[in-house]
Amino acid sequence: MEQEGTTAAVDAGNQHVTEHAEVERRHVEDHERASRQHLVAHEAIYAQHNADHAKLADQHIADHQNATGATPSRKAALSARHAMQHALMEVRHASQLVWMEGRHAAERLRMDGRHAGELAVQERRHAGEARQR
């Protein structure tokens, strides 16, 4: 009789470990999927940022070409404006990245919370099964 109880407990323990492993596997897959999506989003932001810089640079070149007869102070003001435009573009880009990182962190926290919830439910179920044995 003692042997049957031990075998049942070992079988239940093996099932418990198998179920935990499945939850952990899904959790890792969720994080990997989120990371891939995050990288794709970063690539899109950087591609747009680079395109915006190229467009701005072309505009600045045209401005300087149109200002060939301008006074030195006018050319200096033009260069200062161009520098400010590039700086504002960098600020906008940085704010996009901060927003994206915040969203990504929130997504990971939701995943971790869901994972913790799944494990808690699983542990309660296993504890109930153990009491019944």
pLDDT value, residue 8: 58
Calpha distance 87→130 (Å, rounded): 64
Give the pTM. 0.70
Q: Contact, 84 vs 62, CB < 8 A?
A: no
pLDDT band at 41 (very low <50, low <70, confident <90, very high): very high
- As a whole number, mean pLDDT of residues 109-121 equals 93
Using CA atoms, how far apart are residues 93 and 103, in angstroms rounded to an integer?
15
**Residue count (the chain):** 133
**Which pLDDT belongs to residue 14?**
84
Question: Quick one: pLDDT at residue 126?
Answer: 84
Please give the full DSSP string across 59-82, using - where no structure is assigned. HHHHHHHHTTTS-HHHHHHHHHHH
Residue 133 is which amino acid?
R
User: What confidence score (pLDDT) does residue 7 get?
Assistant: 63
64-100 confidence digits (pLDDT tens):
999 989 999 999 999 999 999 999 999 999 999 999 9
Per residue, the 3-state secondary structure of 5-50, as one string, reads HHHHHHHHHHHHHHHHHHHHHHHHHHHHHHHHHHHHHHHHHHHHHH
> For residue 4, is pLDDT > 70?
no
Q: What is the pLDDT averaged over residues 36-64?
A: 94
First to last CA, the chain: 13
